[in-house]
Each structure stands twice: as C-alpha cells, then as structure tokens.
Amino acid sequence: MAIAKPALILFGHGARDPEWALPFRKIRALLVARNPALTVELAFLELMEPSLPDAIARLAADGHGHITVAPLFIAQGGHLKQDLPKILDAIRAEQRGVEITLLPALGEVDTVLEMIAAWLGSVVR
Amino acid sequence: MAIAKPALILFGHGARDPEWALPFRKIRALLVARNPALTVELAFLELMEPSLPDAIARLAADGHGHITVAPLFIAQGGHLKQDLPKILDAIRAEQRGVEITLLPALGEVDTVLEMIAAWLGSVVR
C-alpha cells in the first residue's frame, strides 16, 4: 500500500454563523498552497460539521495513518482540557491503526503569542 | 492636562477556568515590554472580570482619551457581530469624551492568518 500523504485537521469550536468558519478556510487554503503534499481538513467541536471523529474516520478511510490535530483556540479551557481528551480517547479506541498527534492550542505556543503581540504593537496608536 | 498614554484593551470571551486567561496575560506582558508607553488592560465578554464597560470606565477615569479595543477571538460570530456593537454603543453613550477604536478580530486579519499558517506548516510532519 502506498504511504498516504500527511494529514492535518484544523479543529475549531464552531458557531451558528456559517461565516465564523471563514478564517479556518483561509488558513487551510494558505497551508495547502504552500504544502501541496499536505492534506488539510476542518473539524468542529459543536454547531458545525464535520465533527472531529467524522473528519478522522474519513481521513483514516482514505489511508492516512498519521493525523495531526491543531486546536485553533486562542486559549485552553474546559473544551480543550476536559472535552477534547475524551473525544480523542474514543477516536483512538475506534481507529486503532491511526496515529494521532495533538498540537497545543494557539494560546499555548509562545511563537504565536509573540506574533499576535507584534501585530498588535504595529497597529495600535 | 497632560496627554494620557495610549491604551489598548485585549478583549476575550472569558471562561470558567482561571488559567484560560493566561495567553492574554502573556500577550499583555509582551506588549508592555516592547511598548513601555502603552497601557494594556484585559477585559472579557463573560465569566471573567473586568467587563469591557468596566475596563473602559477605569481607563477613562485615569484620563485616557483614546482607547483601542482588540477582540482576541479566532473568528467572528454572534459575540462580535451582535453583542459587541451593542456593548460599544452603550459605552460610547456613557463615555462621551473617549474615542474608542475597534480592531478587527484576529481571524479577520490576513497577516495573523498567514502567521498561524506559517507556524502550522513548520510544526506538522
């Protein structure tokens, strides 16, 4: 069997407003443009589709043996500390052949915080 | 009267978990370290203190005539499209001497999306 392309899931909270997902689609487009070898999908905790289990099941069915999940949350609270570990435990029990790597939330990454601070410092007057 | 220092409010959703605010405090510390002339405060929509009206009232009482509000939301849904304009209208009616500038949400800023995509592209394998 051919080695499948690496896969990344941009995982967001979700919202009632369909336009809420626009930044996620833009990040996806930027990533795909720069890394054609990377498969990038979106997934949501609630209010939007697909769910994380559905997105991972689809990628696994396409032969992806390693999937990275990037929680695009500005900070980590109950959703990431309590909900997400349970969701991932259930997915790992279901998808035994798939290795899942969880990235830290945006707000846990010093590089990202520095970039946000640099942007804010450049626009505030 | 002396011209007051420029003021920036980092406005977040808020959460039950006190640690949720940590990235906001880190961004604040980075901004203050680089821009000693800038006053930076936090404010929250719900579940955390202070509220945006309270934070602005305090800065106005300290003599700040111009306050920039940066919504640190990854995307804009009902909170930013419906709730925030109403909150700002009420604040502007109350604080007539204060000019308030609203920055776009993080997810509305191409520079920020490109930085997030660049970071993701550098860590995914």
| Residues B82-94: tens digit of each pLDDT | 999 999 999 999 9
Question: Can you give the pLDDT at residue A4?
Answer: 65
Q: Is the pLDDT of residue B109 over 90?
A: yes
Q: Mean pLDDT throughout A52-65?
A: 96
Closest residue in B to A18 (Cα) is B77
Question: Can you give the pLDDT at residue A9?
Answer: 98
Pairwise CB contact (< 8 Å): B78 & A35: no
Question: Can you give the pLDDT at residue A112?
Answer: 97
Q: Mean pLDDT throughout A16-39?
A: 96
Q: What is the pLDDT of residues A66-101, one digit of tens each?
A: 999 999 999 998 899 999 999 999 999 999 999 999
Q: What is the DSSP string of B3-37?
A: PPPPEEEEEE---SSGGGGHHHHHHHHHHHHH-TT
Confidence bin at A3 (pLDDT 50/70/90): low
pTM: 0.93
Among B20, B113, B117, beta carbon nearest to A75: B20
Residue B100 contacts residue B67 (beta carbons within 8 Å): yes
CA gap A61, A50 in Å, rounded: 15
What is the CATH T-level fold of the domain A7-123, as seen in this structure?
A: Rossmann fold (3.40.50)
Q: Is the pLDDT of residue A118 over 90?
A: yes
CA gap B78, B7 in Å, rounded: 26
**B100 bridge partner residues:** B67
CA gap B99, B3 in Å, rounded: 14
Q: Is the pLDDT of residue A124 over 80?
A: yes
Pairwise CB contact (< 8 Å): B117 & A27: yes
User: Which residues in chain A touch residue B112, judged by CB atoms under 8 angstroms apart?
Assistant: 115-116, 119
Pairwise CB contact (< 8 Å): A75 & B27: no
The answer to whether B74 faces chain A, any CB pair under 8 Å, is yes
Pairwise CB contact (< 8 Å): B17 & A78: yes
Residue B13 annotated to the active site: yes
**Mean pLDDT over each residue of chain A, to the nearest integer:** 94
Chain-centre distance for alpha carbon B4: 19
Confidence bin at B4 (pLDDT 50/70/90): low
**φ, ψ for residue B109, nearest 5 deg:** -105, 115
Is the ipTM reported for this complex over the cut 0.90? yes
